[in-house]
Amino acid sequence: MMAKDRPPLAKSELEVARIVWQLGEATVRQVHEALPDDRDLDFWTVQTYLRRLREKGYLTATRRGQGNVYAPAVKPGKVIGELTDDFLDRLFDGEALPLVQHLIDAHRLSADDIELLQRRLEELKGGEK
pLDDT, position 129: 57
Q: Which has the closest alpha carbon to 70: 117, 34, 122, 16? A: 16
Q: Which CATH architecture has domain 11-72?
A: Orthogonal Bundle (1.10)
- How many other β-carbons are positioned within 10 Å of the β-carbon of residue 1? 9
Q: Is the pTM of this model over 0.85?
A: no
Q: Please write the tens of the pLDDT for every residue from 45-65.
A: 999 999 999 999 999 999 999
Cα–Cα distance, 91 to 103 (Å, whole number): 13
Cα–Cα distance, 124 to 81 (Å, whole number): 19
CATH 1.10.4040 location in the chain: 76-126
Structural fold of domain 76-126? Penicillinase repressor fold (1.10.4040)
CATH 1.10.10.10 location in the chain: 11-72
Q: Please write the tens of the pLDDT for every residue from 31-40.
A: 999 999 889 8
